[in-house]
Structure 1
Amino acid sequence: MATRRSAPTKPTAGRIAKPNTALSMAHIMPARCRPCGTPGHSCPRRRIFTPLASRPGWILTRPLTGPWPKRSMIGCKTKDTNLSVPPVDIAIIGAGAAGLELARLASRANLRVVLFEQGLSNGRHLFQRIPLMVGKIIGNRKFVDSRQSVAQSAAAGRALPMLSGRGLGGSSRVNGNVAYAGPGWRYRQIFAPLGLDFDPILTQINHGAPRVASWSDALSQHFLQASQQPIADPDDAFHSASVLHVNTRRGWRHNHLENCRQTAKHENIYIIRRPARKITFEGHRAIGVQFEGGAILADKIVLAAGAIGSPDLLMHSGVGDAGMLECAGIDPLLDQPQVGQHLKDHANLRLAFSCPQYDTLNQKTRGVKALWEGVKFLLGRENSILRGPGASAGVNFVNDGNDFRIQLVHFTQDRSVVGAKGIVFERSQKASLGMYPLWPKSEGAVGLTPDGVQINPGFLTDPTDVQTTLDAMQTARALIEQMGFAADPVEGSDEAIIRQGVYSGYHLIGSNRMSPDAQSGVVAADFAVHGLEGLSVCDASVLPDHLSSHSYLPTIAMARMFGQQRGWL
């Protein structure tokens, strides 16, 4: 039977309403029975509740309760009615790695949190939990936003795939699951001028989550033996060859989504499964969020939609280069040309080689061999290929400040194609070495046109990156020879091979970078947007530069610093 709930104590904060309408008290519909879907009904039979799915034209909000998600939604209303929720202390846009960690920390500080996430996945699909299987959903729009970059003039004029995760956990549920926070000296190099000390946070991250060695085999051991390098500091684990560190538990993906499920105060978090359209302002103070089908007011707003989504939403809200916004049909609120600039990524190149004595994923993912790998995974065997990404080992090479990374990748593929069925391995008995500059100098931008967001990663636009990749290629060929193999012949000069062969490493950062002033970046050292009140950004877009070989744990470090500054830790 339908019931009415009293209005929140605060007369405005936390109400959801149709755009351009006054906020008012709302009638709350009863929860739907999960097995049968009937409002107000309770079936005796049970079913595991998977994604927080929404029907077209409906708004869903719910607390994060029990084994997450467990209870039915708190309310469900069509676009033609209003929905009332408790007062909102903080609205977080984006439930990726940073957004979930921020929501977890804020909830434990007894703040009422509304978390926006347009993706419907709950991050618990079987293929998201088995590390290797994400390759099969990487082209599925339920789990991944797939966009094309603009043509890259320095990369043979190619438009390249740019992928980012959808749903709870974001990219952290569809990436390679590799877990490297990065060396402390790199954080000090980047953040000391901003007055930030990440040492305590790095200690927490390195000891606070399951970081285990991925699977390895005889081919991995050959690579590790060949890639040993002299290191001045014996404690410098960052430059040591090793089996990949991954966030897993007993072989299953286990990262900060699980941490949020287990340790957040779920009763303090509500999810709105709708795309955020723009941030609303009173003067230069952010007061709310308009989303598809409604609007909400909040005391504080945090953008955590990633290196593409966060600048995109800022620009749609009138914050960005005024000339560009006017051309896109948006009225400028704050002329801030730095929004979307300084975009960086790891431009990834691979060299294939034949290894006839060794089965790779090209063979182990087919027929009886694939069945045996599945059995080993279910039995908890540590050498099952399903326990890690397609790569098994890597090393970061010192190179006079222009360091680079090389990883052993146990498959070959046509990288120009990301189909609906995900990565398709070739059948030949081959593997490859992937490589990229660790600290690239090349920069691109996220822009806005009348047709929508425009992504330009700017690959290889700085000649230093070309030379660093050439150095990495020569080192990779030497490693292949030391392993007893030969790199596949490729026509053209080494530089031509690089320009025609690089692809995104999917480690996008920097498009709202942190800086001491508005002339060189978008957010201050406290993550607040320069020139605005009540609005912050906290995700990979605020990183001034790359901090590690992979971007997941550095993004978590940003969320931890945000929470530490506000007394949430």
Structure 2
Amino acid sequence: MACTPRRASVAGMEAEYVIVGGGSAGCVLAARLSENPNTSVILVEAGGGGRDIFIRAPALVATMVSGRPRINNWAFQTVPQPGLNGRRGFQPRGKALGGSSAINAMLYVRGNPADYDHWADLGCDGWDWECVKPLFLRAEGFQGGAGPHHGADGPLQVRAQSAPRKISRAFVDACEQCQIPRCDDFNEGAPDGAGLYHVTQFHDGPQAGERCSVAAAYLFPAMGRSNLTVLTRTLVEKVVIEDGRATGIKVRRKGRRHAIRARRDVILSAGAFGSPQILMLSGVGPEDELRAHGIDPVHVSEGVGKNLQDHLDHVISYRSPRRDVVGLNPRGLGRLGKAALRWRKTGEGLFASPMAEGGAFLKSDPALSHADLQIHFVIGIVDQHMRKLHGADGFSAHICALYPHSRGEVGLSSRRPGSPPRIDPKFLSDPRDVAVMIKAARQLDTILGAEALAPWRGKRLYPNDGSDAALEADIRARADTIYHPVGTCRMGDDAEVVVAPDLRLNGIEGLRVVDASVMPRIVGGNTNAPTVMIAEKAADMIRAGV
């Protein structure tokens, strides 16, 4: 079904629940809440329909993530980062139904169970691992079937990779040669060791081999429901707040402004950047930030936009003499063309690859209780988010610190809706993060120098002498996000939180925030699966009247 409104005009539309943002969380909420035929739902998304070939074909992630051109991507930039030599960081975010699950590497990682127990310690009652694990399992449709660590009947199809490259297996062997144990499943308890990632990819039915975005998993099967309306290419300008209660939203669609009324709740699911931005445009946020842009405060909430956390990522790349990797040269493009034809016929082969096939979770210090570093091993050269292209065949490995101490913020660049948010991650503003990243870079260098990767290892990009000073200089010159921003509308029970553990916004009735922005602390891994879990839990609370 086309992603268009069911009425001739948006004017006068209303529903019990109005969801702002058709990303991972918004798609889950729209599908779950509309399961009750007596509950009306309107989902509003600024981007497109989320069904094009760039999204469906896993290997085409490389064409979207760079933002050149802007295909399904907001392609935000940060403000200059003093910790990164004054560089502006790049922040790709999905701009289509499915949100960033439509443009990510499809990696299915839940994080460490201890992460969620820590959320509970921070005042988020009901968010400990024992409470949230069943939600992960309910969401998952695992190819390997149900078990203690996996669900088999959920909408989100998850599978082991069908045909990983030999070099990805060699990376796991290289880790073993460096005393890092093999791990066959990063979602069996606390992730530890090296292995191949599970991916959110269709493994059953006519879409086998295609990306299973959260829209494809949850929303598209629900699009025929008469109680669900989905509006795409519709920009939300603000939440309407009357007498301390959210009553609807103002939107711009096809050049015209409209009001949409919510009889029960407005739910912000616009992500770690979009949700705080919309709140501030609606007069909810830090007073100084609002007044600086000429916005009269409707409700002062100093925590809105604060507590931004992200995984800073350092990349080491090598050219390769072998051709069983990805290269943007005539021979490499020819191989990709053949792979595309195979994928269209069978759903298998190189075009089904997430590109980041291998990975590892390891410790920067042996004394730590659990892994604080993560590696993503990529079967091609990745430089500056694919914004700097190399024609050579090669491979890359990314390493990030999972529990950064630095805290950034999101603010307004303008009071004009549609302007990009002001994003300031404050990367490496805490010196403890510098020390961890130096250890991380050294460990990654050792792994990539192991014998198992020797057949593929050619000339290194950006070599250095391996000293602490050289590693720090390289990190400050080239490191950037691995695309996991969270925390800007954090939940908890202290005076500075934005939402309570039931995800209701403190101080405003009828308004919730449901997305990665509510995480009080970033999880030790990729953030899409946890975002799906957050939305599953929110749907349960809303249906139960919490």
Q: Normalized against structure 1, the TM-score is what?
A: 0.81
Residue 270 of structure 1: how far off its partner (Å)? 1.1
Do residues 245 (structure 1) and 198 (structure 2) align?
Answer: yes
Identify which range, 528-537 or 177-186, moves more after superposition.
177-186
What's the offset of the Cα at 1:302? 0.5
> How much has 1:464 moved relative to structure 2?
2.2
Q: Which runs of 5+ in 2 are unaligned?
A: 140-149, 203-207
Pick aligned residue for 1:377 from 343, 356, 366: 343
Q: What is aligned with 1:271?
A: 230
Bigger mean CA deviation after superposition, 429-438 or 233-242: 233-242
Deviations 1:212-240 (A, max 9, x none): 12341221111011223249999546213
Deviation of 1:415 (Å)? 0.9
User: Does the 8 Å contact 1:155/1:500 carry over to 2?
Assistant: yes
1:294-345 CA-partner distances (Å, limit 9, x unpaired): 1122121100001111000000111111122111010011111110001111
Map of 1:104 onto structure 2: 31
Per the alignment, residue 537 of structure 1 pairs with 513
- Correspondence for 2:132: 198
Whether the 8 Å contact between 2:319 and 2:381 is mirrored in structure 1 is: no
Q: Which of these residues, 104, 117, 127, is aligned with residue 175 of structure 1?
A: 104
User: How far apart are the structure 2 equivalents of 1:344 and 1:236?
Assistant: 24
Seq. identity, %: 28
Q: In 2, distance between residues paired with 1:230 and 1:413?
A: 26
- What secondary structure sits across from 1:405 in the alignment? strand
Asked if structure 1 preserves the Cα contact closer than 8 Å seen for 2:266 and 2:512, the reply is: yes
- 1:290 corresponds, among 239, 250, 269, to 250
Count how many residue pairs are aligned between Structure 1 and Structure 2.
Answer: 488
Q: For each residue in 1:70-107, what CA deviation from the matched residue of structure 2 results, as whole angstroms up to 9, or x when unmatched? A: xxxx3147xxxxx344x511111011110011011110
Contact 2:164/2:353 (8 A) holds in 1: no
- Quote the offset at 1:490 in angstroms: 2.6
Determine if contact 2:332/2:393 at 8 Å carries over to the other structure.
no
Selected match of 1:464 from 432, 449, 453: 432
Question: Once the 2 structures are TM-superposed, how far is the Cα of residue 446 of structure 1 from its aligned partner?
Answer: 0.3
Q: Secondary structure at the match of 1:216?
A: coil
Given the superposition, is the C-alpha separation of residues 329 and 61 from structure 1 closer, same or farther in structure 2, using an over 3 Å criterion?
A: same
Instruction: Tell me which of 457, 472, 479 is aligned to 1:495.
Output: 472
In structure 1, how many angstroms separate the alpha carbons of the residues matched to 2:209 and 2:433? 36
State the alpha-carbon separation in 1 of the partners of residues 101 and 544 from structure 2.
23
User: Are 2:182 and 1:213 equivalent residues in the alignment?
Assistant: no
CA distance in 2, matches of 1:127, 1:375: 15
Does the Cα contact within 8 Å between 1:327 and 1:449 map onto a contact in 2? no
Structure 1 gaps of 5+ residues are 1-48, 53-59, 63-73, 78-82, 419-423
1-structure distance, mates of 2:356, 2:86: 28
Distance 1:213 1:232, change over 3 A: closer
Contact 1:108-1:264 within 8 A present in 2 as well: no
Q: 1:328 to 1:116 in 2, by over 3 A?
A: same
Q: Superposed, which structure 2 residues align to 1:377-416 within 5 Å? A: 377-380=343-346, 382=348, 384-399=349-364, 400=368, 403-415=372-384
Of 491-500 and 138-147, the range deviating more from structure 2: 138-147
* 8 Å Cα contact 1:343/1:510 also seen in 2: yes
For 1:112-127, what aligned pairs fall within 5 Å after superposition?
112-119=40-47, 121-127=48-54
Q: Distance between the aligned counterparts of 1:295 and 1:433, measured in 2? A: 47
Distance 1:534 1:349, change over 3 A: same
Closer/same/farther in 2, CA of residues 335 and 123 from structure 1, 3 Å limit = same
8 Å CA contact retained: 1:213, 1:245:
yes
Match of 2:309 among 330, 344, 354: 344
Per the alignment, do residues 254 and 417 of structure 1 end up closer, same or farther by CA in structure 2, a change over 3 Å counting? closer
Q: CA deviation at 1:370?
A: 2.0
Q: Secondary structure at the match of 1:271?
A: strand
Between 1 and 2, higher relative CO (CA 8 Å, sep ≥ 6) is seen in: 2
**Does the Cα contact within 8 Å between 2:183 and 2:195 map onto a contact in 1?**
no
Provide the secondary structure at the position in 2 that maps to 1:360. coil
Retained in 2: the 8 A contact 1:246–1:388? no
- Confirm or deny: 8 A CA contact 1:107 1:264 kept in the other structure: no
The residue aligned with 1:91 is 18
How much does 1:527 deviate?
0.1
Question: Whole-Å Cα distance in 2 between the matches of residues 239 and 156 of structure 1?
Answer: 33
TM-score, normalization: structure 2? 0.84
Counterpart Cα distance in 2 of 1:257 and 1:270: 14
